[in-house]
Each structure stands twice: as C-alpha cells, then as structure tokens.
C-alpha cells in the first residue's frame, strides 16, 4: 500500500494488490456469488481456528470506531473494528451492497415529514458487560460527532451532523430531525451508515472512572453546544466539554496498541467477537463474544488474522497450508478465469500448489477511473481545453478496451466500469440502460472518425494536430500530446497503462507516461484553478478509483459535483450538479445521474482488477463474498 | 587517540545533524505535504488545516526544525507515524532488535564460513577447489536475493518440509532466538551474498599478506606452513575484513528489505522503505536519523579497530 486507506472524501483503493485483496476477502451469508466454487460441503462442525490473511502490509492499527481520516481504512474498520463494534446499520447482503437489516442494530429507518424526520428503533442487543445497546448509545456517538466533527473521517461540511436540527432518544427509539429534506436512500446509505453506537463504559475521561461518568454519553444532543468557525469547533456547554475530554482520553487509549487486548475499555463489545490478542506486528486473535445478541452466533473457537510483508509471503503461507482464507497474487494465478455476461467470473483451475483451496472471485463495490484535469495548464495551456471537449473524451474512452484488458492483464479476474455507479456486482442502483453494455465500447475506427470530424489531422502512431480551431476547440497546430502519471509498484497497472498508451497511439493520441508512488500520484491529482501556480498536471491514475464505503449509495456529490473535494479534475457541469442534487435531496433514483455521467465522461473509466480469494476446502460459509469488504467470520465453519 | 576520538565524535554530530536537516527540508517539499500523505489526497482543506495545526506544520520551517530538535533533546521524541499509529521511537525500538538478530546472525554466519573459505582458496589456489569456490562465489554474488529466498522456501519449506516457510514471528528477541529452525532459511539467504563477497576479500587479502617480507622472514626462520598461515598471514589479512565489518554496521541496522519481504519478517529495511514510499515523513526522518548514527558509528568503530589491530596505525 501499502498502506490500505479510504476515507469518506476519498475512497481510493490503494493500487497495490493488498487493498484489492482486502476488498475480495469479504463474506456474508446468502445471495448469489459472482463466480467460483462456493465452499466446502460436508457435515458442519463447531470449533476450530480460522487463519485469515491480512493484505500485504495492511495490518489493523486503530481500534476506536470514531476514527480520524488517517485511520479510516478497510483494514481497521471492516476487518477489525466492525467484528467487535457493530455499526448502527450493516450493509452488504450476500453479493450485493444492500442494507442488511438482520445484521443491523436497528430496524429499518422510517422517513416521514417529507424525509425530514427519521425514526430509528433499536433492537434488543446487549453489550458484553450486560448493558443494553440503547438509543442513548446512538446519541453518545452523535454528541461526539457534534464536538469532534473535524476529527471524524466521514465529515463533510453541510452533512451529518451539520444537517441535523435535533437528535432525541426516547426508550429504544432515536429520532433524527433534519434541517432540510434528504433522499431517504442517500441518507440511510451515506449518513446513517456512519453511526456506531458507543457504550456508556466509554463515557469516561480517565482510567478507573465509573461507566457514564462524563456527560457526553448521557447528555441530550441539544445540550451539547459548540461554536464553530470555518476551521474550528469550540465546546461551549459542559456536556460539549465532556465530549472533548472523552474524545481525548479514548484517542489516547487508541494509541496504545499493545493494550488493545487487555484494556477493559475495548473489552466492551456488542459484536460477535472480542479481542484476546493484538500485537504491533498485526497479529490479531478474536474469540466469540458469548453475549452477542445477533442472529448468527460464531461457530468457530477462534479467528486469527495474520500479517504479511508481501504478496509472496502470503502465497507461501497458503502453499504451506498455514492460512484458511487468503488471496492468490495475480502473478501466481495459473489459469485465467472466464467471463460470463458483464459481471460473471468463473475462476479457472487453481494453482497446483493450492490444491487444498477453492478459488473464488467477487466484485467489489467500486468504480475505477482516472481524472483529467479540466483546468490543466499543460500542453502550452491547451490540455484543459482538450479535456473540455466531449468528442475528445469520447474518442479517448473508445480506445480503452476493457474486456481485453480484463482477460489478458487481470487474467479474467476483473469487471468493467461504465459510469459513476458500479455495474458489478449486479445491484438495484445500476441503470438498466447501462446494464446492456458500455456506451463507449472499444471502437478505434469510430474514435479516429470522431477526431477527424472535429478538426484533427489523425496520424496513427504519431501525434495528431489540430487543423481547424473552430472545430477542435483549441488553437490550430495544437498537438494531441498529453501527460499521464500513474502509480508505480503494480505490474498489472503497468501493463494496463502501456496497453492503453498503445491503443491511444493508434488514433494519434500521444500520451507521455510517468510513474510515482501512490501518495505522490494522489498528492499531485488535486483540484486546482487554471490561474493557480501549480495546475500543470494533466491526468493521474492512482490505480484504484473510488470505493463506495461507508457512503454506500453511489451518488456523486463527493466526486463529480462542482467544487467537490474529491472532484480531482475540477469537472463542472450544471446538469450534472442538478442531477446529483436530485439524488441527494430529491427523491430521484440514480438512473438519470448514472446515464448522464456515463455518457458525459467526467473521468476516463477503467476496468477493475479483482483478486482471487482462496478458501480452505474444509471451510464453509465464507461465500458469497461481500462486495463492501465486510467479513462475517461468525458465519464460517469447518466441515468434516 | 583520545584527541582523535573527540574530534571524530564532534564530526559525527555535525554529520548526523546535517543529514537530519537535509532530510527534514526535503520532506517539506513532498507534493501535497505531510498532511495529505497522512490523511489521503481527498482530505478537505479543513481537515488538512486541523492536522497541520496539531502537528506544527503551520509554523515556519525553522520553527518546525527547532521543535523537532528540542523534542529529541528533551524526550528523544522523533515524531509520530500515523501510518502505523505508533511513535517513531517505539516503531524503531520494535524493529531494530529483530533486524540486529537477523542481519547480525547472518553476518556472523557469513564470517564463519567466508574466512575459512578464503583461506582454503589461497592454500589451494589455482586448483579445482579454488576454481569451484570462485565460481560458487560469483553465483552467490550474482544471485538476486529474492530469487534465492523464494527458491529456498519452495524447496526446503514447502516441498520438503525441512524448515519453516517464514522467519520467526515473535516480536521479542528471545522469542525469535527460541525458534532457530525459522531462522535457517532467511539467514542463509541473506548470508549467501556476504559469504561470496567476504570470501573473495579474504582470498585476495591473504594472497597479499603472503607476499609480504615478514612472511618470507618467518619461513626463513623455520616457521611451519601452518604457523606462517594462521599466526602471521591470517592476522594481518583480517585487518581489511575488520574494516569492512565496521562499514557494514549501517546495513546491519538498516535491515534487509528483500529478505524481510520474502520471509515475512518486518524489520528496519521494510520500515525505512515504507516510510519513503508512503511519504510517512516523521518515520522517514527518524529512520534516516538512526541510519546516519549507525553510519558514523560504524565508520568510527572501523577506524578505531583498525588502529587497535594494526599497531603501525596511530591517530594523532
């Protein structure tokens, strides 16, 4: 990675296979699988220890669910915290990204008053210390969010908690009252998804204090008052000050990694697992929480996560039979998978050294793309203007041969991206129009014709030049010579970029490629104005696009709305803005926004490389793989 | 000698300070800044501002460096790594012992093998034994470390089950040393290159020593070939080896990135590499600081040992 990381504002999958591996290692019972044999048959047994491979150099390192941006990662949340501390709502049902009410702490949220009032009824869950998971535990989280929103990874100005007029707890019911209407899907999937109830045992500011000693957990949302400027939040009321003190204490405790398994603080869990061992290398051991109230109780005796320094070290562990659920690095896939339809992946024969494993593939809830900088001053000030031309973006996209790249570079373990909403796994959000196929399928003839029709002299293998400024949109004589920086350290990304460079060259689009580390590429690909001193970057590919988590509803307000923080290329389109607003504030579905985004090409869509998961043949319940990277080892069991 | 040592220590402090200062300045010109590297490029300006204020990135670079140096002097605090959620000192404290065990043992093993091999090659020079050992040295020297490591794992761990496929996973030195079977393959993999290099050094050093006048004198006085070889030639031939050992101290502390990667053994090599590739600025400066110290100390030890071993060498 690498480090493995996504944030509410920037859910960029780390290019390294570690993250892709992590994304593939998710499980939930029920639903359809994207492909592959689905696990062991035989009589179910109780007990046993499952060894789970963490992504290479992607060990968990933060236990407190109220995490700042630097700790907000798949490894920390989906494969560590959420096994112990359940979020209010669980997402991922089978192989779909849908809301999973059976695994949620609350019943379905009820929207009323035009979508401004949301009523959430808690289920009778218990914390491991015997206390009930109450509506007030939800308010505890909201109070913390009000005071420490600048330290909350998921915070964006104007969204939760800014959009709340009030949050009240009464019995086992929480009532959220919004300042303005919100799309119910959007609010459930993107806002309520951020809430993790916290136990009163955490409402302390020093060791040894009694549960609920500070007022943060017990105060009402209204009693927590702060003053905010554009860059600060200052607690005013006593309750707010206690929230600040509690936050300081809990984050301080969260920095003591060696105490995670022994601290009485972190031992209060409501999830199916509790931590018994944790070390700074990333070795994690969990055992079942006997007080877990959820519908599926763990059958295993122990769940162990193992850290690895590299993909090859993890593969060696698989080959030695040390790991029960792992991943096979792309270079060790011995036989291609075959694609059936858009999303179906039928794995090929397994690597001969992994005869004791079943190989499985599953889509991840993400899109892959790279942005073009619409304000770029590169190419003599013309790069941004070139990207502004829809015909150019169309021609550029039509030279990206996703099916071929999936088959030959990803060895069949991949799915395409057609637009801003994932088409795979099959889901209720994707437009039926795009489910029929790519609106810009590979067609070099059409791409060349489009460039010619718009005033370019096309020189296959050379560099096109504009011969008619009125059609090109740029001055006559401008060469079609562009720069693209992509992430280094990934063989598949290297192959993909070189293949695309060759493809673009056949239409005379000359792309100069450079590489950089993941952080360097991302650091360069920031929104900038054409008048700023450093806006020369043109295209940047960090290799992973965008993962929709914890904002599971793929609306585009973070990505493609004018001025959005993650709108790297500064794409701006009034129609797009209003379509996005309709999906977040109105009651529109995503369909119109999705189709418009697919056809307008705010970015260049790329295929998604998936990692093949290896599952011990004697282990069942792991599939279908969850596309949101969640794992549910409580559903896993050995067979005999 | 005392004066020499004092001067060298003074020079070492200046060198280390210069290295840290240069690294500090370079780290401040990383595209995007430390905040973006820690938070991710999609951090909002507000989150970046909050991070910068909390970590003093909002003050001038002079003030930042002063704060950094003052923290080192007061608490030996080298900063905090948000990538690992640990202080730089605790990260280095956790990794250095592991690295010292692996690289130290492999260097020791290499010496134990390389010195006799070098002597044997001299005694049997220009014979098939010499040619075979020379060829083996070249193969060992040219063999990529990752290839050798993977082959060893494949053959001896996965196929034959003679050894473990990964290095000991304990986080303590005692735990690592109590699993000697797990150390065999990584030590051998790492030592192969060093054996090849040291045996070649030893061979040429011995050959040079055997041509010296004192060797001819010893023979003329009736010394046996064994006495000539081990009492006179070897001791003098070891001097360059001792110097080399001192110069390998930075490598010993710096770790062996490839061996660590292949054998699942997170040590200083991986820590330093990750710090650089992930723009983990505090960790990068911290590991550079340690590497600089190891380099100057290693050079100093080499020079001092040289004077100790060779009485002809005296420092003013």
Kindly report, residue by residue over A603-634, the tens digit of the pLDDT. 999 999 998 999 999 999 999 999 998 999 99
Q: Residue A47: its pLDDT value, please?
A: 95
pLDDT value of position A22: 35
Handedness of CA A146, A150, A151, A156 (dihedral sign): positive
Q: What is the average per-residue pLDDT within A66-73?
A: 90
Query: How close B181 gets to chain A, by Cα (Å)?
Result: 16
Q: Which regions of chain A carry the CATH code 3.90.76.10?
A: 106-254
Within a 13 Å sphere around the CA of B60, how many CA atoms are in the beta-carbon half? 3
Which one of B28, B36, B38, B40 would you mutate to disrupt binding with A, by most A Cβ within 10 Å of its Cβ? B40
**Two tokens at A50?**
């499952």
Looking at residue A13, its pLDDT comes to 35
Report the residue from A3, A280, A520 with minimal CB separation from B31: A520
Contacting residues of B for A157, CB less than 8 Å apart: 44, 46
Gap between the Cα atoms of A399 and A49, Å rounded = 49
Residue A25 pLDDT level (bands cut at 50, 70, 90): very low
Does the pLDDT value for residue A559 go beyond 60? yes
Complex ipTM value: 0.87
Q: What is the mean pLDDT of residues A250-265?
A: 96
Instruction: Give the pLDDT of residue A433.
Output: 82
Spatial distance between the Cα atoms of A539 and B273, rounded to a whole number of angstroms: 27
- Write down the pLDDT at residue A247: 97
pLDDT tier, A5 (very low <50, low <70, confident <90, very high otherwise): very low
Query: Count of A–B CB contacts within 8 Å?
Result: 153
**pLDDT exceeds cutoff 60 at B136:** yes
Mean pLDDT in residue range B282-287 = 91
**pLDDT score at A26:** 35
Which residue's structure tokens are 């904002």? A551
pLDDT at A289 over 60: yes
Q: Does B165 sit within 8 Å of A7, measured CB to CB?
A: no
Q: Residue A109 above 70 pLDDT? A: yes
| Predicted local distance difference test score (pLDDT) of residue A469 | 94
- For the domain A1-66+270-362+611-640, what is the CATH superfamily, name and number? Periplasmic binding protein-like II (3.40.190.10)
Confidence (pLDDT) at B54:
83
Out of A61, A322, A566, the one facing B42 most closely (by C-beta) is A566
Q: Is the pLDDT of residue A24 over 70?
A: no
What are the beta bridge partners of residue A616? A357
Lowest mean pLDDT segment, chosen from A16-20, A412-416, A582-586, B81-85:
A16-20
Is residue B255 pLDDT above 80, yes or no?
no
Residues of chain B contacting A565 with CB distance shorter than 8 Å: 42-44
Say if CB A159 and CB A149 are below 8 A apart.
no
Given this model, what pLDDT does residue A140 score? 98
Q: Please compute the mean of the pLDDT values over residues B233-243 and round it to a whole number.
A: 82
Q: Which of residues 562-591 of A touch B (CB under 8 A)?
A: 565-566, 568
Length of chain B: 316
In sequence order, what are the residues at sequence separation of 6 or more whose Cβ sits closer than 8 angstroms to the Cβ of residue A81?
A: A60, A62, A63, A64, A65, A67, A196
**Partner-chain residue, chosen from A280, A322, A522, that has the shortest CB–CB distance to B86:** A280
Structure-model confidence comparison of residues B80 and A84, the more confident one? A84
Q: Write the CA distances from A135 to A175, A193, B293, B295, integer angstroms.
A: 9, 16, 56, 59
DSSP string covering chain B: -HHHHHHHHHHHHHHHHHHHHHHHHHHTTSTTHHHHHHH-TT--HHHHHHHHHHTTTTS-HHHHHHHHHHHHHHH----EETTTTEEHHHHHHHHHHHHHHHHHHHHHHHHHHHHHHHHHHHHTTTSHHHHHHHHHHHHHHHS-HHHHHHHHIIIIIIIS-SS-SS----SSHHHHHT-HHHHHHHHHHHHHHHHHHHHHHHHHHHHHHTTSHHHHHHHHTT--HHHIIIIIIHHHHHHHHHHHHHHTHHHHHH--HHHHHHTT---HHHHHHHHHHTT-HHHHHHHHHHHHHHHHHHHHHHHHHHHHH-TT----
pLDDT at A434 over 90: no
A526–B261 CB contact, under 8 Å:
no
User: Burial letters for A161-188: b for 16+ Cβ neighbours within 10 Å, e otherwise?
Assistant: beebeebebeebbbbbebeebbbebbbb
A162 in contact with B, Cβ within 8 Å: no
Distances, alpha carbon A600 to alpha carbons A334, A392, A449, A477, A507, in Å: 38, 11, 19, 26, 21
Is residue A282 over pLDDT 90? yes
Whether the predicted pLDDT of B146 surpasses 60: yes
Cis peptide before A303, with omega less than 30 degrees from 0?
Answer: no
Write down how long chain A is. 640
A106: DSSP letter: B
Tokens matching residue A215:
């007022």
Smallest Cα distance from A294 to chain B, Å: 31
What is the distance between the alpha carbons of residues A260 and A253, in angstroms, rounded to a whole number?
Answer: 8
DSSP of A337-379? -EEETTTEEE--PPPGGGTTEEEE----SEE-EEEB-TT--HH
Q: pLDDT band for position A15 (50/70/90)?
A: very low
Percent share of chain A, pLDDT over 70: 94
Distance between first and last Cα of chain B: 6
Which residues, listed in sequence order, are joined to residue A604 by a DSSP beta bridge?
A: A370
Shortest distance, CA B233 to any CA of chain A (angstroms): 45
Residue with tokens 């995007």: B32
Q: Which of A257, A322, A524 minimises the CB distance to B31?
A: A524
Least confident interval from A292-296, B10-14, B41-45, B255-259: B41-45
Asked if residues A274 and A289 have their Cβ atoms less than 8 Å apart, the reply is yes
Q: So what's the pLDDT on residue A50?
A: 98
A23: confidence class by pLDDT, cuts 50, 70, 90: very low
* Interface membership of A561 toward B (CB under 8 Å): no
| Cβ within 8 Å, pair B46-A2 | no
Quote the tokens at residue B14: 């200046």
A280/B94 Cβ within 8 A: yes
CA distance A605 to B173: 49
Q: Do A317 and B42 touch (CB under 8 A)?
A: no
Residue A110 has pLDDT above 60, yes or no: yes
Both tokens of residue A375? Answer: 């304000």
- CA neighbor of A246 nearest in space, from A135, A145, A130, A131: A145
Residue A376 phi/psi, 5-degree rounding, is -60, 140
Which residues belong to CATH 3.10.105.10 in chain A? Answer: 366-609
Q: Convert B85-142 into a string of H (helix), E (strand) and C (coil).
A: CEEHHHHHHHHHHHHHHHHHHHHHHHHHHHHHHHHHHHHCCCCHHHHHHHHHHHHHHH
Tokens 């070249």 sit on residue:
B138
pLDDT mean across residues, chain A: 90
Note whether B30 contacts A523, CB cutoff 8 Å.
yes
For residue B316, the model assigns a pLDDT of 55
Q: Determine the angle formed by the axes of helices A574-584 and A591-600, rounding to 10 degrees.
A: 150
CATH 3.40.190.10 domain position(s) in chain A: 1-66+270-362+611-640
Mean of all residue pLDDT scores within chain B: 86
Two structure tokens written together for A513 = 């490629």
Q: Does residue B206 have a pLDDT over 80?
A: yes
Q: Where residue B314 falls among pLDDT bands split at 50, 70, 90?
A: low
Structure tokens given for A545 = 């696009």
Tell me: the pLDDT tens digits for A509-536? Answer: 999 999 998 878 888 888 888 777 789 9
- Whole-number Å distance between alpha carbons of A346 and B141: 44
User: Residue A104: enclosing H or E segment and its boundaries?
Assistant: none
- Per-residue pLDDT at A43: 87
Nearest to A454 by CA among A385, A511, A405, A503: A385
- Answer yes or no: do B277 and A71 touch at CB < 8 A: no
Using CA coordinates, name the residue in chain B closest to A488.
Answer: B277
Strands A510-516 and A481-487: parallel
**Cross-chain residue pair B50–A151, CB shorter than 8 Å:** yes
* Chain B residue closest in CA terms to A251: B85
- Average pLDDT on A219-228 reads 95
In the predicted model, what is the mean pLDDT of residues B119-144? 88
Give the DSSP letter string of A208-243.
TPPTT-SSTTTS-GGG--EEE-SS-EEE-SHHHHHH
Residue with the bigger pLDDT between A23 and B12: it is B12
Half-sphere exposure of A245 (CA within 13 A, CB side): 19
A3-7, A98-102, B132-136, B285-289: segment of lowest average pLDDT: A3-7
From B50, B90, B158, residue closest to A320, measured CB to CB? B158
Question: Given a cut of 70, is residue A466 above it in pLDDT?
Answer: yes
* Residue among A501, A613, A617 nearest A27 (CA): A613
From the number of C-beta atoms within 10 Å of its C-beta (0-12, 13-18, 19+), residue B217 rates as exposed
**Residue A157: pLDDT over 80:** yes
CATH class of domain segment(s) A366-609: alpha beta
Q: Which two tokens stand for residue B199?
A: 């045996």
Question: Which residues on A lie below 8 Å from B169 (Cβ)?
Answer: 281, 283
- In Å, how far is B207's CA from the nearest CA of chain A? 42
The arithmetic mean of pLDDT across residues A349-374, rounded, is 94
Q: With 50 as the cut, is the pLDDT of residue B53 above it?
A: yes
pLDDT of residue A31: 31
Rounded to the nearest angstrom, the minimum Cα separation between B214 and chain A is 53
Report pLDDT for B250. 74
Orientation angle between helical segments A444-453 and A390-398, nearest 10 degrees: 160
CA distance A315 to chain B (A): 10
Minimum Cα–Cα distance from A525: chain B residue: B41
Task: Tell me what the mean pLDDT of segment A167-177 comes to.
Answer: 96
pLDDT at A585 over 80: yes
Q: Hey, which CATH number is domain A106-254, 3.40.50.300, 3.30.750.24, 3.90.76.10, 3.40.50.150?
A: 3.90.76.10
* Cα–Cα distance for residue pair B150/A419, rounded to 1 Å: 41
Residue B61 has pLDDT above 90, yes or no: no
A window 266-325, beta carbon within 8 A of B = 279-281, 283, 307-310, 312-313, 316-317, 319-320, 322
What is residue A74's predicted lDDT score, i.e. its pLDDT?
A: 86
Distance CA B29, CA B23 (A): 10
Share of chain A above pLDDT 90, in %: 77
Strand partners, B87: B80
| Rg for chain A, CA atoms, rounded | 25
Q: Report the pLDDT value the prediction gives residue B32, as an integer from 0 to 100.
A: 61
Is A61 in Cβ contact with B266 (below 8 Å)?
no
pLDDT tier at B41, thresholds 50, 70, 90 = low
Asked whether residue B306 carries a pLDDT value surpassing 50, the answer given is yes
Q: Which stretch, A566-575, B30-39, B199-208, has highest mean pLDDT?
A: A566-575
CA distance B74 to B67: 10
Per the DSSP assignment, residues forming a β-bridge with A457 are: A465
User: Chain A, 218-247: which have a CB under 8 Å from a chain B CB?
Assistant: 230-231
| Residue A7 contacts B where some CB pair is shorter than 8 Å | yes
How many Å apart are CA B95 and CA B80, to the nearest integer? Answer: 15
């Amino acid at each position: 990675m690498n480090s493995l990381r996504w944030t509410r504002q920037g859910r960029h999958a780390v290019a390294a296979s570690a993250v892709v591996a992590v994304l593939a290692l998710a499980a939930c019972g029920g639903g359809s699988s994207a492909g592959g044999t689905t696990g062991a048959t035989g009589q179910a047994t109780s007990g046993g220890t499952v060894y789970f491979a963490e992504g290479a150099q992607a060990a968990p390192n933060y236990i407190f669910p109220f995490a700042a941006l630097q700790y907000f990662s798949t490894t920390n949340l989906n494969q560590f915290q959420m096994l112990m501390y359940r979020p209010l709502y669980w997402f991922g049902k089978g192989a779909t990204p849908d809301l999973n009410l059976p695994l949620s702490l609350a019943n379905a949220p009820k929207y009323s008053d035009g979508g401004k009032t949301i009523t959430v009824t808690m289920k009778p869950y218990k914390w491991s210390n015997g206390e009930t998971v109450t509506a007030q535990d939800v308010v505890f989280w909201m109070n913390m969010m009000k005071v420490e929103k600048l330290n909350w990874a998921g915070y964006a100005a104007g969204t939760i908690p800014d959009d709340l007029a009030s949050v009240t707890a009464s019995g086992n019911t929480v009532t959220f009252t919004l300042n303005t209407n919100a799309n119910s899907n959007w609010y459930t999937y993107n806002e309520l998804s951020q809430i993790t109830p916290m136990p009163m045992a955490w409402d302390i500011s020093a060791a040894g204090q009694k549960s609920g000693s500070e007022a943060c957990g017990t105060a009402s949302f209204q009693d927590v008052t702060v003053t905010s400027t554009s860059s600060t939040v200052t607690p005013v009321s006593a309750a707010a000050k206690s929230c600040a003190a509690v936050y300081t204490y809990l984050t301080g405790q969260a920095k003591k990694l060696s105490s995670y398994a022994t601290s009485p603080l972190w031992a209060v869990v409501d999830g199916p697992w509790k931590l018994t061992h944790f070390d700074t290398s990333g070795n994690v051991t969990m055992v079942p929480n006997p007080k877990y109230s959820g519908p599926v109780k763990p059958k295993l005796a122990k769940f162990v996560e193992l850290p690895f320094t590299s993909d090859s070290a993890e593969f060696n562990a698989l080959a030695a039979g040390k790991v029960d659920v792992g991943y096979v690095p792309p270079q060790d896939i011995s036989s291609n998978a075959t694609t059936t339809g858009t999303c179906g992946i039928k794995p090929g024969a397994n690597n001969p050294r992994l005869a004791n494993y079943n190989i499985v593939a599953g889509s991840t809830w993400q899109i892959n793309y790279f942005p073009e900088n619409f304000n770029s001053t590169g190419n003599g000030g013309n790069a941004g203007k070139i990207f502004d031309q829809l015909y150019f973006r169309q021609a550029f996209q039509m030279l990206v041969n996703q099916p071929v790249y999936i088959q030959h570079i990803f060895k069949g373990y991949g799915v395409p991206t057609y637009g801003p909403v994932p088409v795979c796994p099959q889901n209720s959000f994707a437009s039926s129009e795009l489910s029929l196929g790519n609106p810009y399928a590979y067609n070099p003839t059409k791409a060349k014709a489009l460039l010619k029709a718009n005033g370019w002299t096309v020189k296959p293998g050379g560099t096109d030049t504009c011969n008619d400024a009125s059609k090109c949109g740029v001055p006559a004589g401008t060469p079609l010579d562009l720069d693209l920086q992509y992430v280094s350290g990934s063989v598949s990304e290297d192959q993909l970029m070189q293949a695309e460079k060759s493809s673009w060259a056949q239409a005379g689009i000359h792309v100069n490629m450079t590489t950089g580390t993941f952080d360097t590429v991302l650091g360069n690909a920031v929104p900038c104005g054409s008048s700023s001193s450093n806006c020369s970057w043109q295209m940047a590919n960090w290799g992973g696009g965008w993962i929709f988590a914890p904002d599971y509803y793929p609306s585009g307000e973070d990505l493609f709305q004018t001025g959005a923080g993650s709108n790297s290329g500064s794409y701006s389109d009034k129609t797009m803005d209003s379509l996005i607003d309709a999906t977040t504030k109105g009651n529109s579905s995503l369909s119109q926004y999705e189709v418009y985004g697919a056809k307008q090409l705010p970015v260049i869509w790329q295929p998604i490389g998936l990692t093949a998961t290896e599952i011990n043949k004697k282990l069942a319940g792991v599939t279908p793989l969850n596309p949101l990277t969640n794992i549910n080892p409580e559903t896993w069991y050995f067979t005999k | 000698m005392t004066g020499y040592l004092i001067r060298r220590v003074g020079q070492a402090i200046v060198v280390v300070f210069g290295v840290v200062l240069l690294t500090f300045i370079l780290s401040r010109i990383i595209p995007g800044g430390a905040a973006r590297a820690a938070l991710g490029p999609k951090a909002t300006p507000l989150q970046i501002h909050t991070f910068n204020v909390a970590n003093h990135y909002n003050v001038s670079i002079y003030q930042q460096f002063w704060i950094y140096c003052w923290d080192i002097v007061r608490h030996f605090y080298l900063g905090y790594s948000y990538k690992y959620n640990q202080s730089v000192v605790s990260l280095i404290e956790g990794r250095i012992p592991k690295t010292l065990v692996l690289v130290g043992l492999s260097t020791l093993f290499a010496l134990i093998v390389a010195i006799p091999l070098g002597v044997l090659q001299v005694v049997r020079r220009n014979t098939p034994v010499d040619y075979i050992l020379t060829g083996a040295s070249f193969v060992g020297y040219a063999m990529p470390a990752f290839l050798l490591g993977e082959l060893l794992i494949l053959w001896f761990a996965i196929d034959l089950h003679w050894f473990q496929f990964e290095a000991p996973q304990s986080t303590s030195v005692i735990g690592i040393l109590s699993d000697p079977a797990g150390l065999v393959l990584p030590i051998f993999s790492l030592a192969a290159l060093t054996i090849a290099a040291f045996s070649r050094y030893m061979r040429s050093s011995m050959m040079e020593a055997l041509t010296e006048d004192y060797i001819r004198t010893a023979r003329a006085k009736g010394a046996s070939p064994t006495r000539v070889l081990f009492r006179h030639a070897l001791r003098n031939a070891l001097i360059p080896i001792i110097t080399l050992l001192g110069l390998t101290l930075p490598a010993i502390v710096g770790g062996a990135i490839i061996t660590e990667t292949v054998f699942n053994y997170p040590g200083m090599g991986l820590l330093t590499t990750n710090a650089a590739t992930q723009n983990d600025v505090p960790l990068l400066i911290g590991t550079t600081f340690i590497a600089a110290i190891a380099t100057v100390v290693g050079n100093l030890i080499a020079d001092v040992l040289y004077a100790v071993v060779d009485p002809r060498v005296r420092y003013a």
